[in-house]
């Protein structure tokens, strides 16, 4: 029987009795291994720029040894501390996404971010602005959501809203958000955007 990434992460989170830090480390390691396995197209135990869709800048950040080849250890190091991001990515994803999308997000790959939808952009801006304790998720107290809206957005039911959940919730409004961003692109500053949203 083949187990999906989502099923594995959910089972691991329920079975791990070692606390949140251990789960975070576990998810980071799982994400790193999946990213490496998926990216190493020719299975030569290294990843080169031509095997990934990352920008040259993001690949350079990943390639700590600067030899043009990324090892499993370098991906492990890049993913360290990002277990919550990995968990959120695989559990909450509602669109077709790859492990390279996860890696690009963690590396802050501007090329990938430029390709994101208006809903993704709006979700990122909202999360950044409202995340008072900078933990990468929004609690009920950090949002201006009603209890019902919060629970509908929190599809994982863990009491917090991750970026992927916010993006999924805003997808239905993507056309309106895209139109909005287009109309303000030339003349608005980030502070004007905050006032309008």
pLDDT in tens, 54-91: 778 888 888 999 999 999 999 999 888 888 887 777 76
pLDDT at 65: 93
Tokens of 90: 């695989």
Average pLDDT on 33-52 reads 88
- Non-local (6+) Cβ contacts of 76 within 8 A are 28, 29, 32
pLDDT tops 70 at residue 2: no
pLDDT at 106: 75
pLDDT at 93: 56
pLDDT at 15: 47
- Non-local (6+) Cβ contacts of 74 within 8 A are 62, 63, 64, 65
CA distance 24 to 17: 12
Nearest C-alpha neighbor of 32 from the set 65, 75, 81: 75
CA distance 114 to 73: 28
Model confidence at 4, pLDDT cuts 50, 70, 90, reads low
CA distance 197 to 171: 16
pLDDT mean across residues, the chain: 77
Of 181 and 60, more confident:
60
Q: What is the pLDDT of residues 107-154, one digit of tens each?
A: 776 554 444 677 888 888 898 889 888 888 899 999 989 999 999 999
Nearest C-alpha neighbor of 31 from the set 73, 93, 90, 108: 90
């Amino acid at each position: 029987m083949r187990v999906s990434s989502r099923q594995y992460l959910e089972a691991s989170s329920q079975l791990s009795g070692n606390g949140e830090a251990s789960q975070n480390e576990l998810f980071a390691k799982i994400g790193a291994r999946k990213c490496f396995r998926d990216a190493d197209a020719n299975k030569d135990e290294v990843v080169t720029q031509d095997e990934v869709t990352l920008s040259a800048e993001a690949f350079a950040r990943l390639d700590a040894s600067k030899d043009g080849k990324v090892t499993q250890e370098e991906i492990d190091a890049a993913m360290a501390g990002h277990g919550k991001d990995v968990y959120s990515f695989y559990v909450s994803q509602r669109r077709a996404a790859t492990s390279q999308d996860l890696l690009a997000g963690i590396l802050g790959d501007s090329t990938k971010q430029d390709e994101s939808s208006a809903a993704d952009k709006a979700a990122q801006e909202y999360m950044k602005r409202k995340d008072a304790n900078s933990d990468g998720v929004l609690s009920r107290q950090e949002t201006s959501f009603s209890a019902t809206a919060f629970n509908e957005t929190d599809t994982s039911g863990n009491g917090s809203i991750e970026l992927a959940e916010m993006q999924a919730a805003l997808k239905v409004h993507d056309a309106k958000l895209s139109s909005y961003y287009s109309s303000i692109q030339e003349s608005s500053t980030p502070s004007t955007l905050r006032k309008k949203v």
